[in-house]
Each structure stands twice: as C-alpha cells, then as structure tokens.
C-alpha cells in the first residue's frame, strides 16, 4: 500500500466543494501535504483506491446484479467464461439502469431499447441502427474487479493503481480445517460507527450470553499508515479441541471460561479478529453513502486442534465443512441485530446534534478515528461515477 495513498481519492462531494472554495493561488498551501478537511468524522468519504467486497460470488449468476459503492451505481455480470465484469449502471442512451437488462453472450443488453455494451464498456450493437448510421461512441466506465475467496471485489478508484494493492485475503473460505458462517450487515449509519463497534471489545455487555469472549483488557496497540492492531487480554467461553466441544456453540452449560488473547485489526477498509486459535472473524465493508453501510460478517471456527485431522480422507473433511457451513449464522444474526440498533441510534444522534462529541476512553477507537481521517484525506482524486 506504500505509494498508493499519494494518489488516493477523496470521495465526498462536500470535501470537493470545500477544496474548490479555498484560495488556489496560495503557493504555500499548494506545496503543503494534503489533509482531510475538518469535516466531522461522520461526514468523511472513503479512500477509493482500495478493494471493496460488493457481492458474494454466489449472488452473481446468469443475470446482471446491481450494487452501489459510495454513491456509485454499478452493474455486475458474468461473461461467457464466467468472469465477473463491472460497469457503471447507466445506459448512456436514456440513462436507465443496465442492471434491469440481460446478458447477451459477453455483452450487457439494455432492457429499454436493446442496446448492447461490451465488457470494455463500448457500445457494440443497436438493433435498429440504419445502414448510413454509425454506432454511438459513448463508453461506460469499467471498474477493476476480481473474484476471490467467495466474493466479488471491486476497485472504485484509479484503475491504474489496482494492481498495486491486493484485496484482503480470506484463506479460511476454502480451507477444509475451517467451518465458516456468514451474514450481511445493512445499517443506516456512517461506516465509521461500524468499524468503531468492531474494534471496541468493551461492548460485550450488549450481547450477553451470545458473546464468545469476556473480561477484555486492552494490552497492546499499534497504529500505522493503513492498519490499527489492538490486542486485548480476554477470556473465552469455548475451546474447540474435541468433536463434542463444537456443541458448546449451542449448549451454554458446557462452556468454561479460560484465558485467550483477542486480536482485532483494522486493515483499512476491512476488519479482522482472532480469538485464540479457535475463531477468526472478518467484516468486509461496502459503504454506500455517508449514512448507509453494507458489510459481510464472516465467522470461522478452526478445527486445527483436532488430532490427526490432516489424515482424515478429503471426502470426509469436505462433507464436514459442507454440513456445518453457516451453523453459527443464527448467532451472527443476533449480534448484528443488537449492534445495528445501537449504530443507527448513534447516527440519528449525530444528525440531531453533529457538533457534540462524547468522551472516548478506548485508545483503540481514537487510533481508528485518526486512520479514517488520514485515509480520507490522502490525495486529490475526483469522485467516480
């Protein structure tokens, strides 16, 4: 990511308006490092020059799929080789959504008049084109897109920078020794509220018996250009080391507290956490606007402690993984419901009184807020779409 931030995009229209209103003739200001305008944290945009998870692979089949990433309507579809394609979701003819259309071979066909657009965004067919007429030269914006670890990842910034940074890896997705569960977060709140919630291990009181850890104490804190790592000394209710121990997820009476390190990471713009050797959790972000955030929450239970697991026939291991996939989704959905209620109240309180700032005692959240402001202020890029 080194070097990426120097060209990174500032993506809030309000930010662009503020910059345009400043005196461009001041040479000393022009030479100074670019910092995020003094907007509230809850109004800052995202750094577009990162990869964002906009859909699950399973969601993108034989029909176009509409997604939104920071005010940008985007249409996803698969070509004949099943490769994902991402274009701006707008037919240049009458400005209707191409996501309402259909896939025609490698092309995307508009539902209104049947115009077709190639994977590079060029108009390649108009069904009623007369012999003396030429195809329109209008071209749609194409976004860099990848399919990796069960998700469609999109790079909404400068396409020339897409190869300089990789999407956050989720190696547990295909690993046979990890059982995964997934749910979607859809919250009417700025993305900063959600990442603060995820980095704050002191809000377990909200979740009661559904929380897998207890008694956290912030032990270490590291903050860098694009990452915050907080280590908490904590305790866990679970130890996944025998076949029967998986039942602890369902039967509270079997749980026993024991010390476990709890590590949480903000790998901008996504989040990852580990609880000892038994659990890995991810939150993959797709911010839609200043007041709307979508994300994918993934929970992986490790079977690495099981003796001789690697000697088990592959067919058996695949069966176990397939049979228990999403077995913890009911727990994730409960946690998400409880968190969303709090986050939307925070957003509503900010809208009612945007100048109020409550006291923050968790140093990890202060570091996260500084990282968000730094990333939002890196560069002069214009808003895409």
List, for residues 365-376, the tens digit of each pLDDT value: 999 999 999 999
Mean pLDDT of the region 129-148: 95
Residue 18 has pLDDT above 60, yes or no: no
CA distances (Å), origin 225, targets 313, 369, 370, 372: 44, 12, 10, 10
208 sits in which H/E element: none
With 0-12 CB in 10 A as exposed, 13-18 as middle and 19+ as buried, what is 243?
exposed
- Residue 343's nearest CA partner among 298, 301, 293 is 293
The reported pLDDT for the residue numbered 311 is 77
Task: Please tell me the least confidently modeled range out of 31-35, 41-45, 245-249, 290-294.
Answer: 31-35
Residue 100 pLDDT level (bands cut at 50, 70, 90): very high
Residue 338 pLDDT level (bands cut at 50, 70, 90): very high
The residue extents of the domains of the chain are 56-154, 171-376
Residue 343 has pLDDT above 70, yes or no: yes
Q: Which residues contact 383 (CB under 8 A, 6 or more apart)?
A: 9, 11, 12, 13, 16, 45, 71
CATH placement of domain 56-154? 2.102.10.10
The reported pLDDT for the residue numbered 291 is 97
For 28-80, the pLDDT digits (tens) are 444 444 544 578 999 999 999 999 999 999 999 999 999 999 999 999 999 99
For 155-164, the pLDDT digits (tens) are 999 999 999 9
- Residue 157's nearest CA partner among 236, 33, 248, 50 is 50
The reported pLDDT for the residue numbered 190 is 98
The reported pLDDT for the residue numbered 28 is 42
CA distance 200 to 221: 12
Quote helix, strand, coil % in the chain, to nearest 5.
Answer: 30, 30, 40
- Residue 201's nearest CA partner among 319, 335, 77, 364 is 364
CA distance 141 to 385: 8
Mean pLDDT of the region 254-278: 89
Residue 196 has pLDDT above 60, yes or no: yes
Give me the chain's average pLDDT, please. 85
**pTM of the full predicted structure?**
0.84
For 155-190, the pLDDT digits (tens) are 999 999 999 999 999 999 999 889 899 999 999 999
The reported pLDDT for the residue numbered 214 is 79
* 61 neighbors 77 (Cβ within 8 angstroms): no
Strands (E), the chain: 52-56, 65-69, 72-78, 84-88, 102-104, 107-109, 116-117, 123-125, 145-148, 151-154, 178-187, 213-223, 227-236, 258-267, 270-275, 279-289, 292-302
Q: How many CB atoms lie within 10 A of CB 381?
A: 18
Q: Do domains 56-154 and 171-376 have the same CATH topology?
A: no
The reported pLDDT for the residue numbered 39 is 82
The reported pLDDT for the residue numbered 203 is 84
Please give the structure tokens belonging to residue 242. 């025998």
The reported pLDDT for the residue numbered 235 is 85
DSSP sequence for 320-369: HHHHHTTTTHHHHHHHHHHHHHHHHHHHHHHHH-TT-------HHHHHHH
Q: Which residues contact 129 (CB under 8 A, 6 or more apart)?
A: 135
CA distances (Å), origin 231, targets 32, 168, 195, 376: 35, 20, 16, 25
Homologous superfamily of domain range 171-376: Naphthalene 1,2-dioxygenase Alpha Subunit; Chain A, domain 1 (3.90.380.10)
* Number of helices and strands in the chain (H, E): 6, 17
The reported pLDDT for the residue numbered 135 is 95
The reported pLDDT for the residue numbered 207 is 78
Please give the structure tokens belonging to residue 27. 């040479």
Task: Please tell me the least confidently modeled range out of 29-33, 122-126, 282-286.
Answer: 29-33
- Residue 84's nearest CA partner among 48, 114, 51, 110 is 51
CA distance 124 to 379: 35
- Of all residues in the chain, what percent carry a pLDDT higher than 90? 62
Residue 330 pLDDT level (bands cut at 50, 70, 90): confident
Please give the structure tokens belonging to residue 77. 């579809």
The reported pLDDT for the residue numbered 318 is 87
The reported pLDDT for the residue numbered 243 is 57
CA angle at 217 for the pair 216 and 218, rounded to the nearest 5°: 120
- Integer distance in angstroms from the first to the last C-alpha of the chain? 24
Output 234 or 25, whichever has higher pLDDT.
234
For 53-66, letters b (16+ CB in 10 Å) and e give bbbebeebeeebbe
Residue 295 pLDDT level (bands cut at 50, 70, 90): very high
Mean pLDDT of the region 77-85: 97
Q: How many CB atoms lie within 10 A of CB 188?
A: 14
Query: Which residue's structure tokens are 């115009």?
Result: 115
* 8 neighbors 378 (Cβ within 8 angstroms): yes
């Amino acid at each position: 990511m080194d070097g990426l931030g120097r060209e990174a995009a500032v993506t809030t229209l309000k930010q662009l308006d503020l910059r345009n209103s400043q005196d461009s003739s001041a040479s000393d200001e022009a030479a100074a490092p670019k910092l995020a305008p003094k907007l509230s944290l809850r109004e800052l945009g995202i750094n577009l020059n990162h990869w964002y998870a906009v859909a699950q692979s399973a969601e993108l089949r034989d029909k176009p799929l509409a997604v939104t990433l920071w005010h940008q309507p985007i249409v996803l579809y698969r070509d004949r080789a099943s490769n994902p394609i991402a274009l701006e979701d707008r037919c240049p003819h009458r400005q209707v959504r191409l996501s309402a259309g259909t896939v025609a071979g490698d092309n995307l066909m508009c539902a209104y008049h049947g115009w077709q657009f190639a994977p590079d965004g060029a108009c390649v067919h108009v069904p009623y084109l007369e012999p003396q007429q030429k195809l329109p030269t209008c071209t749609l914006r194409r976004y860099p897109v990848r399919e990796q670890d069960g998700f469609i990842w999109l790079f909404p910034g400068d396409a020339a920078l897409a190869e300089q940074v990789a999407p956050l890896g989720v190696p547990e997705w295909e690993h046979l020794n990890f059982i995964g569960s997934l749910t979607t977060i859809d919250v009417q709140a700025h993305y900063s509220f959600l990442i603060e919630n995820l980095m704050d291990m002191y809000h377990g009181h909200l979740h009661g018996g559904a929380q897998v850890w207890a008694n956290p104490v912030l032990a270490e804190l590291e903050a860098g250009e694009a990452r915050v790592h907080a280590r908490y000394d904590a305790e866990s209710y679970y130890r996944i080391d025998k076949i029967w121990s998986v039942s602890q997820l369902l039967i509270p009476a079997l749980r026993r507290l024991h010390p476990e390190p709890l590590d949480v990471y903000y790998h901008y713009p996504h989040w990852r956490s580990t609880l000892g050797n038994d659990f890995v959790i991810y939150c993959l972000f797709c911010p839609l606007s200043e007041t709307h955030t979508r994300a994918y929450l993934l929970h992986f239970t490790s079977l690495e402690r099981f003796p001789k697991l690697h000697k088990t026939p592959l067919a058996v291991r695949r069966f176990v993984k397939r049979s228990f996939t999403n077995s913890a989704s009911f727990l994730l959905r409960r946690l998400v419901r409880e968190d969303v209620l709090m986050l939307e109240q925070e957003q509503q309180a900010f809208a009612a009184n945007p100048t109020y700032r409550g006291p923050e005692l968790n140093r990890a959240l202060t570091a996260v807020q500084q990282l968000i402001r730094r990333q939002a202020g890196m560069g002069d890029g214009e808003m895409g779409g």
